Structure 1
Amino acid sequence: MSTATAEYELAEPLMLQWLTALGVDVEFVRGEGNTLYFVGPDGTEVPVLDYAGGYGSLILGHNHPAIVDAARDFFDAGTPVLAQAARQPAASRVAAALNSVLHREFGVTEPYFAVFANSGAESVEVALKHAEFDRVLKVKALAEEITGHLEAAGAAVASGTAVLPETTVAALGLPAGSGFDAVAAEVGGRLAASAARPSLFLALERGFHGKLVGSIQITHNPAFRTPFATMAPQARFVPLDRLDVLDEVIAAERATVPDVVVEGGAVAVVQREFPVFSAFVLEVIQGEGGIRVVDRAAAERIRAACDAVDCPIVVDEIQSGMGRTGAFFAGSLIGLVPDYVTLAKSLGGGVAKSAVTLVRGGRYRPEFELLHSSTFAKDAFSSALALRTVELLEADGGAVYRRAAELGDELIALFTSLREDFPDVVKDVRGKGLMLGLEFHDQTGSAAPSIAQAALTDTFGYAVAGYLFRVHRIRTFPTASATTTLRFEPSVLLTATEIARLDVALRALAAVLRAQDEHAFTAG
């Protein structure tokens, strides 16, 4: 066994076995634009057309020359990558650039403060932590206010300037004749019990937000979430096509706590809204859930429900952001102004690992900076490349956004035509811009054993991806939580020739599935 082989077998060996079974276990040695290259058995490079696009990380393609030049310039200048606890002007410039885009697209002027991270899942963790920290501080402020009211009311009763009516005692469920000490104890006890409630998040069914300890709890797929359900705060999931459930969930979880006031010389009980919900987290386009789009009506419904209980909205733009849908922020296309927005993937220009959480100024808690930190976040290298990426996306009046929209229209036309010609094979076409999904009909009844087996084991999309790679040298994968849907997330460098190649490959695939051709499906 060679050293290289041993190293690879120690790096997720089960995953390697699975890739081998699909016939996609190659090592890519070079990449440019939408093309990856591996070395074939004869020693020559084999090109592969990449429609997976780094799961949305490559809006500018592999090794974009301007990003590579920025990386070279950075290292040629000898700039330190890691110089923590010092001024970080590059990160500040990225935050300013992102604010400029956000203000333009959403028509707002409020600043959004930036907390940098290393990955998309971590940027979601930042949003969850900050939102919960904000809720906890609101609970603390409410508790201090009620405690102050109790002290004032108690002093008023003791001095004889206020009385404690039996109606107030009864309103708290206390025995008749109970004194103010009992009232104070009851109010304080209920407040303490409410304050001890664990945090609660709201999220959409089919949503995917990462696999870290916090983010996995708002990722809907039970296979990912359930094994770790006891490790972190819980979420209530709402179906996108039945948002009336959101009203039901809020009504069921909503809570009040008693407060006391002195009115007209008498102590009275009033109910105060208690901060229950930490945040509502959603993707504008659900990536791993099957490329399902949140429309403007749904966004307005969610915003109204959340505003009614002061629940902030975290918009996960990790996959849909950075110009992929025809605007920098996909949320701007449906008018969903975020309280928090997370970015990652393409933020690093396809070269650096970079992520950021933007927090609306009105909700930002500066104290959070003393509680959350990361050794590698906000480093000078990833910040330099993120800034260059934003500059490229914004160049020529947002030409990249227009190009993404145009290419998306072409691909949707291709998929729609395919569906019309193969309605028994293709079930649906979804998405926007260069974040698209092609859903296939259930194949569990296929006469081809490999097709039927893949469908029965929920690996159909991966088997299809293997076919496209082996036979047509096209690379894509299904969405993780909806494996009958193939995702297509190429870069804006996509050409007419590359689109035509995909058309040929997908039509061949559809013909194989229609014919239930075992030999053709397992070829290569």
Structure 2
Amino acid sequence: MSVETTNKDLDKKDYTGVNEYIKKVLSMIEKDEITKEDAEWITRETVDGFREHVNPGFLDYRKSVTKDKQFAAVEWSDSGSCFKDVNGKEYIDCLGGFGIYNVGHRNPKVMKAVTDQLSRQALHSQDLLDPLRAMLAKILAEITPGDLKYSFFVNSGTESIEAALKLAKMYSDRTTFIATTRAFHGKSLGSLSATAKGVFRKPFLPMIQGFRHIPFGDIEMMRKTFGSCALVGEDVNAVILEPIQGEGGVMLPPDGYLKEVRALCDEFGALLIFDEVQTGMGRTGTMFAADGYDVVPDILCLAKAFGGGIMPAGAVVATEEVFRSLFPNPFMHTTTFGGNPLACAAAIATINVLIEEKLPERSAEVGEYLLGKLRNVAENFPEQVLEIRGKGLLIGVEFHTDEIGYEVSKGLFDNGVLVAGTLVNSKTFRIEPPLTISIEEVDKVVETFKLVLEKLNTN
């Protein structure tokens, strides 16, 4: 078949039907209010679309989907600490997009910064110097711990980990990385090599070489691993840690552990990478978890809440000593959309909100209040609840079994509270609401938690 014939055949494709569908979707997007009929159509199209064109597995995973998979709670709008589904039911968001809504849903300052920038320029040319990237980097140098100075901007947490690992490799010819069990650092091949969850790793083995995993919190095992690696000529390049493990179940480090890790890295000439994708931006009661533990890493990874819940955005911030390996050729690691003007505007406004509204401090205060209230409830249900732990507004509720955890998270959802518990892994669910959550909303979450446990206890 000739090229001309092929092109003619392609030209004959009729897009009329799909374009009519597109126009209907766009008409839904522009509506301020939707009707009951609109809601039914949106729900049906969403469920069918996931089944036929996204991934039917999500219909088994989402606790908002009925057993016959014909109905689901479909989110449609949000503001403050809540969001609504297409039928107008409101939910208190204690999942927070796994930690992206630190400054609240659709924070007006962040929205304004992004729309103001959008009215002038959305993306950069890639050739001229873009001002907001420079300004955001300067701001980060001011607010991050110690002598962290240079920033590389990305679109997601996984990308920030990839950049950090490559930066560490550029800095040193050492090839060994130490990560910890239960760690989660992302799912691209590089970040997945640091991630510890076998179910995510096994289908993609072998991973990137050189990663060793040791138990989180075990400083003696880490010391022995450093020593063993040195003895066999496979010296450690870097240790990568979440200061508090999020996906792993909100696992807090033992007292003094992070400082001891820092000392070991210094002793053996290795770098320390903190993955603060989830713990950063005020989540744990200080601007960064590193601040709360008084430890300065060589490389700091940020994302999730970095874009204010408006834009996908992340950053890797490093010391000049580490970052200078990229000075001779800054194109050794690049990204088309990372550090774009809209993302930078969102991040700058987010930092402004965190500082002016004292949200890290608020996270510490409200988190302590919520933690105490939840523990008071849990004392009456020892056969269901194993432990409640957390720091700031990153809280983990651990149950005796996955089944109990799922039933509680489902019960909370049915009563208008969304937590990070799923059918896949519910033994521990996370509570990480916007740092702007009101005390009244916190009290309602606690009351609902008690109600669900009481109902579960009587069944």
SS at 1:514's partner residue? Answer: helix
List aligned pairs for 1:179-190, cutoff 5 A: none
SS at 2:150's partner residue? Answer: strand
> Which residue number in structure 2 is paired with residue 344 of structure 1?
303
> Which residue number in structure 2 is paired with residue 355 of structure 1?
314
SS at 2:426's partner residue? Answer: strand
SS at 1:393's partner residue? Answer: helix
Alignment partner of 1:429 is 2:405: no
Aligned partner of 1:26 among 73, 78, 87: 73
Q: Distance in 1 between the 2:81 and 2:148 partners?
A: 36
Q: Distance in 2 between the 1:203 and 1:390 partners?
A: 29
Deviations 1:33-60 (A, max 9, x none): 11111123xxxx1111110011000001
SS at 1:431's partner residue? Answer: strand
Q: Distance in 2 between the 1:300 and 1:479 partners?
A: 34
Q: Is the 8 Å Cα contact of residues 34 and 61 (structure 1) preserved in structure 2?
A: yes
Q: Distance in 2 between the 1:330 and 1:371 partners?
A: 30
> Which residue number in structure 1 is paired with residue 162 of structure 2?
125
SS at 2:260's partner residue? Answer: helix
Change (3 A) 1:75 1:207: same
Alignment partner of 1:299 is 2:258: yes
Alignment partner of 1:251 is 2:210: no
Change (3 A) 1:463 1:129: farther
Q: Is the 8 Å Cα contact of residues 280 and 289 (structure 2) preserved in structure 1?
A: yes
Q: Distance in 2 between the 1:211 and 1:80 partners?
A: 28
For structure 1, which segment, 277-286 or 473-482, has the greater mean C-alpha deviation from structure 2 after superposition?
473-482
Change (3 A) 1:15 1:482: closer
TM-score normalized by the length of structure 2: 0.84
Deviations 1:137-178 (A, max 9, x none): xx6xxxxxxxxxxxxxxxxxxxxxxxxxxxxxxxxxxxxxxx
> Which residue number in structure 1 is paired with residue 118 of structure 2?
75
Alignment partner of 1:494 is 2:437: yes
Q: Is the 8 Å Cα contact of residues 295 and 334 (structure 1) preserved in structure 2?
A: no
Amino acid in the other structure paired with 2:104: G
> Which residue number in structure 2 is paired with residue 207 of structure 1?
183
Amino acid in the other structure paired with 1:226: K
Change (3 A) 1:481 1:115: farther
Alignment partner of 1:414 is 2:373: yes
Amino acid in the other structure paired with 2:155: N
Identity %: 29
Q: Distance in 1 between the 2:116 and 2:372 partners?
A: 41
> Which residue number in structure 2 is paired with residue 503 of structure 1?
446
> Which residue number in structure 2 is paired with residue 64 of structure 1?
107
Give the gaps of 5 or more residues in structure 2.
1-17, 22-44
Deviations 1:274-299 (A, max 9, x none): 56322110011100011011245101
Amino acid in the other structure paired with 1:132: K
Alignment partner of 1:101 is 2:147: no
Amino acid in the other structure paired with 1:321: G
Q: Is the 8 Å Cα contact of residues 180 and 216 (structure 2) preserved in structure 1?
A: yes
Alignment partner of 1:375 is 2:336: yes
Q: Is the 8 Å Cα contact of residues 479 and 485 (structure 1) preserved in structure 2?
A: no
Give the gaps of 5 or more residues in structure 1.
140-198, 257-273, 443-453, 518-524
Aligned partner of 1:116 among 122, 138, 153: 153
SS at 2:135's partner residue? Answer: helix
Q: Distance in 1 between the 2:284 and 2:454 partners?
A: 30
Count the aligned residue pairs: 410
Amino acid in the other structure paired with 1:352: M
Q: Is the 8 Å Cα contact of residues 296 and 335 (structure 1) preserved in structure 2?
A: no
Q: Is the 8 Å Cα contact of residues 283 and 317 (structure 1) preserved in structure 2?
A: yes
SS at 2:427's partner residue? Answer: strand
> Which residue number in structure 1 is paired with residue 58 of structure 2?
15
**Greater Cα radius of gyration, structure 1 or 2:** 1
Amino acid in the other structure paired with 1:119: S
CA drift at 1:125: 0.5
Q: Distance in 1 between the 2:59 and 2:90 partners?
A: 21
Q: Is the 8 Å Cα contact of residues 221 and 481 (structure 1) preserved in structure 2?
A: no
Q: Is the 8 Å Cα contact of residues 250 and 396 (structure 2) preserved in structure 1?
A: yes
What is the CA RMSD across the aligned residues, in angstroms? 2.3
Alignment partner of 1:284 is 2:284: no
Q: Is the 8 Å Cα contact of residues 408 and 453 (structure 2) preserved in structure 1?
A: no
SS at 1:409's partner residue? Answer: helix
Alignment partner of 1:335 is 2:294: yes
Amino acid in the other structure paired with 2:241: L
> Which residue number in structure 2 is paired with residue 467 of structure 1?
411
